[in-house]
Amino acid sequence: MKIIDAHTHIDYISHKHQDDVFESICCTTDESQWIDLVNIIKNDNAVYGAFGIHPWYVDSVKPEFDERLEELLLDNDSYMVGEIGLDKYKPYLDKQINVFEKQLKVAVKLHRVVFLHCVGAWDKVLNILKQYKKSDLPILVVHDFHGSTEILDFLLNNYNVMFSFNNINKPEYIKQIPDDKIMVESDGKKDVILFDVIKKIENIKHNENIGDIIYNNTQRILKNG
Ligand SMILES: [Zn+2]
């Protein structure tokens, strides 16, 4: 089976460690990692990059970070935006909203795939998404979804969304999400064996081709389509 890690971080690039994993999409968490990820990508063509500031790290944002993000993305058409979003249980929610809005604006302007982190704040994320015409929004890759099945339904019906999972604690999510919208991720955790995550999805979906479908789904993201 060929697997792509659809969401990891620079400290654990899973294709270097797991035999079935061939490529990894790496998300940054703060601006200091942007240059590190650019260098990793230059030295390993199996790494794809998403650049952004994670909601847990908004405390350290520097002025005009969004202008530098835009400049960086303009350097390379394959660069995506992530990991960005909101986390209700972490400090500085107002600042998180401001930083998320600025980064989303850049992603919309350049039409780059967005890797989204949302914990307990779907009402706020949906309010921000509403500021845009749906057709103007890029693909949103929701990672480690934890919301209600109603929110899940709403996202599936209204936006161009994909979902990546590193655990299958809630099989109902997997049942609800169409095969062509699921991916797998390590999220930088060494103990997440992507092959095992796919096997769990295969059992829930009763579809022995799901590994290939998941691979193709992630390839589609890399082609921004
Ligand atoms: Zn992450």
pLDDT tens figures, 178-217: 999 999 999 999 999 999 999 999 999 999 999 999 999 9
Dump pLDDT digits (tens) for 33-71.
999 999 999 999 999 999 999 999 999 899 999 999 999
Total domains, the chain: 1
Domain extent, residue 136, equals: 3-222
Contacts of 109 (CB under 8 A, 6+ apart): 70
Dump pLDDT digits (tens) for 109-145.
999 999 999 999 999 999 999 999 999 999 999 999 9
Any idea what the CATH number is for the domain that residue 200 is in?
3.20.20.140
Residues 8, 24 contacting (CB under 8 angstroms): yes
C-alpha to C-alpha distance for 149 and 77, rounded to whole angstroms: 34
Q: What is the Å distance from ligand 1's center to 188 Cα? A: 7
C-alpha to C-alpha distance for 176 and 192, rounded to whole angstroms: 23
Q: What is the Å distance from ligand 1's center to 63 Cα? A: 23
DSSP secondary structure code for residue 193 in this structure: -
Q: What is the Å distance from ligand 1's center to 205 Cα? A: 25
Residues forming a β-bridge with 184: 165
Q: What is the Å distance from ligand 1's center to 136 Cα? A: 25
Q: What is the Å distance from ligand 1's center to 198 Cα? A: 19
Q: What is the Å distance from ligand 1's center to 116 Cα? A: 9
